Structure 1
Amino acid sequence: MKRVIVIGAGFSGISAATKLANDGYDVTVIEKNSMAGGRARVFEEQGFVFDMGPSWYWMPDIFERYFAEFGKKPSDYYQLKRLDPSYKVIFNTADEISLPANMQKLEELFESIEIGSSKRLADFLEESKYKYDVGIGEFVWKPSISITEFFDIRLASKAISLDLFASFGKHIRKFFSNERLLQLMEFPILFLGATPQNTPALYSLMNYAEIALGTWYPMGGMYEIVKGIVSLAEEKGVKFKLDEPVTSISVEGKLAQKVITNKGEYEVDIVVGSADYHHIEDKLLSDETRNYNEQYWDKRIMAPSSLLFYLGINRRVDKLTHHNLFFDEDFNVHADEIYTNPKWPTKPLFYASAPSKTDNSVTPEGCENLFVLIPIAPDLEDTEAIREKYYAIVMERLEAYVGHDIRNHVIYKKSFAVNDFKAEYNSYKGNAYGLANTLFQTAFLKPSLKSKKIKNLYYTGQLTVPGPGVPPSLISGLVVAKQVNKEFKAS
C-alpha cells in the first residue's frame, strides 16, 4: 500500500486525503496547529463560539457532490438552514437593502430600485447559470497542468461564451445602471480577491451561486463542516497528526523520500502539500527543487488580507441580520487602497456577521456573537495600535447604524490580522484568500498543482487550482487526488 503524507489539514488537504484513502492509499495528514480545518478553525470563550475564518456557505451543490463521492450526504454530518434574507447591505443609516431568498420577491425589489431591472436580472441569471454549469461543472475539475486540456473544441467554444476576456465590471453594466444594484451584484467578487474591473466576467457565476442556489448556514457553526469531513476521512482510514509542524521534505534525485517534522520522520511514496504553497517551496524544499523562485511569487497578485474582530456582547444587537455588509463609504477608494496603492484604508468598508441571529447555540442566552472583517492589502504593517484605531472606526459606524451602544457591552474581544495569518497559517504576505482571480491567474496560469522537479510531490489549496474559497478547496483536493491516482496506482 503506497504511503501518502498530506501536509496541512485544511479543506483541500482533508479532501485529497479522503479521496486517496478511499482509493486504497495509506494516508496520514500532518497539521501544525492543534485542530484540523486550516483557516476554518473554531474557538470558544465564555460561552461564545467563534468560527475563525469562512462564514459564508455558498454552492451547496459542491458540498453535495463532495460527500456523494463517498456515498454520503451533508445531512449525514450537519444540518443546513437557508438564510432569509440572504444578507443585508447598508449604504447609510437610512438606506439599506435586505436580499430576500425568494426569487419573486428579489425581482420585485430590483424593479422597485430600477425600472426594467427585474427582467434584466432574469436574463443575467440565465447567463450566469450557464457559466456556473460549465465553469463549476467542467472547468474547475481540470488539473490545469497544461493548456492542452482546454483544446477540446466543445470547451473552447464555451470559453468564448463564458466571457473569459471581458471584465466583470463592464459585463454587469450591460444589465444594470443603478449604483446600489451594481454594488449588490459586485459584492461577491470581493471574495475572489480583485476589483470587478480586473475580474473575468466568467465569475458572474458567483451571482448565480449566491442568488439562485442560496446562502446557507450549518447549525452549530461553520466548523461543523470540518468535523463532518474529518469524520468521513477517519471512516476511510485517514490518520491525523496534530500539533506537528513539518520542518522539511527530504528529496533524493527526483523523488521525495521523507517528510520530517518536529517530532519525527515519515517515509513516503507520495507527498501532497496542502499548506501554503510558497511556504512549502521556501521553507521545506531546497532552492533547486522549487517550482517557482521568489521573484515569481512576489509578482503574483494576492487576494486581500483581513483585520478580524471576534466580539462577545452581553446584549442583543439591534437591526443586524446574520450577514451584514457596510458599504457606507466609497468602494472604489477602499479597493484602490487594497489593490493599486496598498495601505491601511482611509475609510474602510467592512462586513459584520452575527451567527447568533440564526443559531442560539453559539452564545450564552441574551448575548450576541459578532465577527467583524475589514479587507486590507496583504503584507501591511500590523500593530496593536493600528488594530485599535480600526476597531474604533468600525464600532463607531456600527453603533450609529444600530442606534445603541455596543462597545460597553463587549465582554470578550480578540483581533486577528496580517501577523496572525503569517504565524498561524504560514500565509504568504499574510493573505487571507490566496491568489486574486485575475484573468492571468486563472486555470493553467495559476501555480501548478504538480511539482516540476519532484515526481511524487503535488500541491493543493487556495494558491493553486481552482482557487480560494471552501468549495474550490474541496474541489482542489479531489482534483489532485485523481491526478495522483492517474500517475501512481494504489498498490
Structure 2
Amino acid sequence: MKKVVIVGAGLGGLAAGIVLAKSGFHVTIFEQNDHVGGKMMPVQLGDYPFDFGPNTITMPAVFRRVFEEAGEKLEDYLDLIKLEHHTNNYYMDGSSFAMTTNHDEMMKQFEVLDPHAEVSYSDYLEEVKFLYETAEQHFFYRTFSSWTDYTNLSLLKALLQVRPFETMDRFHRRYFENENIRNAFNRYATYIGSSPYVSPATFALIGHLEMTDGVYYVKGGNTKIAAAFAQVFNKLGGTLHTNCKVKEVIVKDKHVQGIKIEGNEKVEADIVIVNGDLLKAYPALVSEENRPHFSNQKIQSYEPSISAYVIMAGLKERNSNFIHHQVYFAQDYKKEFDELFIKKQLPTDPTIYICNSSYTDRDISPGDNLFMLVNAPAVTPGQERDNEGYKEVIYDKLKRFGVDISSQLAVEKVVTPNEIERKFGSYRGALYGISSNKKMDSFLRPSNVAKDVGHLYFAGGTTHPGGGSPMVTISGLNVARLLKERYSDE
C-alpha cells in the first residue's frame, strides 16, 4: 500500500490521515508545533484554560463522520453540549439582542425591536436552509482539480441559486430592518474572514447552522476535537510526530519523492498532503520553478482574510453579565471593515467578541476565562505593527458597556497578528486563508490537487471548500476520498 506523508496535524490533515490509515495506507504526519489541531490550540494560563480557536462549534455531523469513517463513535471521545441561547449582542445605543435557536424567544424580541423581522424571520430561515443544503449537496464534498470540474450543468445551476452576485448585507436587508440586528447577522462574514458588504450572500448559510442546527461546545474545551482525532489516528496505526518541522517536499521529474525534515533527514513517500496555509506552505516547501501554475506573483495576488488581535484574560470572579458568547459592536460597523480592508489598520472603534466557556463548563477555571477577539487587518509584509496600546482601546470600550476587565485580572496574554503568522504559518497572519471578498476567491479557491507536481495534494482553509473547522475537516475527507479512489487498488 502507498506511503503517505502529511505535513501538518491540523483538522484537515488528521481527518485525511484517519480515513487513509483505516483504508490501509501507511500514513505519517509531521507537525511543527507541540500540539495538534493547528489554530485549534489549547492555552493554559495558570488555573485558566482557553481555546485559541475555534470558540464556536457548528456542523457536528462533520466531526461525527470522521469518527464513523474510523469505525468509532464520537460519543466515546467527546461530550458535545448544545447552547440554545448562545450569543448576546450589545450596541452603543444601549440596546441588546440575544441569538437563540428558540424560535419563540426570537419572535418576542422581533416584536419589540424589528416588527418587519417578526414577519420575515420564517422566510429567512427557509432561505438560509436552502443556501446551506444546496452548498452541502453541490460544493462541500467535491474535489476540484481543474476547470472542467466546474462545467457540470447541475453544479452551474446550483452556483446561480446560492446568490453569488448579491452581498451578504444586501441579503440581510430584506429580512432585518433594525440595523443592530442586521449587524448581528452580518457578522457571519467574519467567520470566513471577510466583509459582509462585499462577500457573497452565499455565506449567509451560516445562519442556518447557528439559528436552526445550533451552536455547540465540547466539554473540557473545543480543542479536545483535535486531540480525539489524534487518538483515533494513533489507534489505527498511524504515526504522528510533533515538534518536527518539514523543510522541503522533495520533487523529482515533476513528482513527489518524499520530504526533508529538520536535520536534513529524508523521508520517502509516494504521496504528500500539505495541510497548512497554502499561500505560505507551498512556496516554503516547493521551489518556484516546480510550481509554475502557483508562482510567487500569483500568491501575492490573493487577498488574505482578516487576522485577529486576541486577549486571553482570566478573571478572579464570575460576572453575571457574561454568557458563553457575547459581542460588543462598533458604532459604525461598515467603517470597521473599511479600516480593515481599505486602510488596513486596526479598527478605531472595534467590535469585540468574548467567549467565556467557563459559563457552560464551570469546573474548568476559578473565575471567568475570557477569550477576547478583535478583527485585525492581515500583516503588511515586512512590517511589525506596534500594537502596544491597543489593549487599552479594548478595555476602555468594554468599560463603556459596564465591563471592567482590568480590575479583576488574574492572568492575561495578548496574541497579535504577527504572532499568529509566526506560530501557525499563516499567510500574513490570516485566520481563514484567502478572503471571500472577491467572487473568484469565494467559489474558485485553490485546488486540492497540485497542477505541477504529481501525487501532491492540499488540505486546509486556503483550499476548497474554505475556512473554519468544519470546512477544513471536510477538505481532509475530500482528499482522502480522492486518494482512495485513485490508489486503493495499488
TM range, smaller chain: over 0.9
Q: Conserved in 2, the CA contact under 8 Å of 1:219 and 1:359? A: yes
**TM-score, normalised with respect to structure 2:** 0.95
| Distance change in 2, residues 1:154/1:293 (3 Å) | closer
Question: Match of 1:102?
Answer: 102
Long gaps (5+) in structure 2: none
Question: Match of 1:437?
Answer: 436
CA–CA distance in 2 between the matches of 1:185 and 1:52?
23
Question: Match of 1:453?
Answer: 452
Aligned-partner SS, 2:148: helix
AA in 1 matched with 2:82: R
AA in 2 matched with 1:3: K
AA in 1 matched with 2:313: L
CA–CA distance in 1 between the matches of 2:417 and 2:345?
13
Offset at residue 488 of structure 1 (A): 2.5
Which residue of 337, 340, 360 corresponds with 1:338?
Answer: 340
Pairwise mapping of residues 123-272 of structure 1 onto structure 2 (< 5 A)? 123-263=123-263, 264-272=265-273
CA–CA distance in 1 between the matches of 2:209 and 2:30?
33
AA in 1 matched with 2:110: F
Aligned-partner SS, 1:226: helix
CA–CA distance in 1 between the matches of 2:387 and 2:489?
50
CA–CA distance in 2 between the matches of 1:484 and 1:341?
43
Pairwise mapping of residues 78-117 of structure 1 onto structure 2 (< 5 A)? 78-92=78-92, 94-117=94-117
AA in 2 matched with 1:345: P
Offset at residue 307 of structure 1 (A): 0.7
Deviations, residues 167-202 of structure 1 (Å, cap 9, x unaligned): 222222222222122112211111112212221121
Which residue of 300, 303, 320 corresponds with 2:302?
Answer: 300
Which segment is superposed worse, 169-178 or 238-247?
169-178
Which segment is superposed worse, 60-69 or 42-51?
60-69
Question: Match of 2:50?
Answer: 50
Question: Match of 2:371?
Answer: 371
Question: Match of 2:14?
Answer: 14
CA–CA distance in 2 between the matches of 1:478 and 1:428?
23
CA–CA distance in 2 between the matches of 1:189 and 1:281?
26
Question: Match of 1:478?
Answer: 477
CA–CA distance in 2 between the matches of 1:288 and 1:259?
17
Aligned-partner SS, 2:309: strand
AA in 1 matched with 2:149: E
CA–CA distance in 1 between the matches of 2:212 and 2:107?
12
CA–CA distance in 2 between the matches of 1:329 and 1:58?
28
Q: Conserved in 2, the CA contact under 8 Å of 1:110 and 1:181? A: no
Offset at residue 382 of structure 1 (A): 4.0
Offset at residue 395 of structure 1 (A): 1.1
Aligned-partner SS, 2:50: strand
Aligned-partner SS, 2:474: helix
CA–CA distance in 1 between the matches of 2:174 and 2:94?
28
Deviations, residues 47-92 of structure 1 (Å, cap 9, x unaligned): 1111122111112232233333334343221111111321011103
Aligned-partner SS, 1:320: coil
Q: Percent identity of the aligned residues?
A: 26
Deviations, residues 421-460 of structure 1 (Å, cap 9, x unaligned): 22111111111221112421133x2112111111111111
Offset at residue 292 of structure 1 (A): 1.2
Q: Conserved in 2, the CA contact under 8 Å of 1:23 and 1:490? A: no
**TM-score, normalised with respect to structure 1:** 0.95
CA–CA distance in 2 between the matches of 1:488 and 1:279?
28
AA in 1 matched with 2:487: F
> Is residue 326 of structure 2 the alignment partner of residue 324 of structure 1?
yes
Question: Match of 1:424?
Answer: 423
Long gaps (5+) in structure 1: none
CA–CA distance in 1 between the matches of 2:118 and 2:401?
29
Question: Match of 1:462?
Answer: 461
Q: Conserved in 2, the CA contact under 8 Å of 1:18 and 1:236? A: yes
Offset at residue 224 of structure 1 (A): 1.2
Question: Match of 1:313?
Answer: 315
Q: Would you say how many aligned residue pairs link Structure 1 and Structure 2?
A: 485
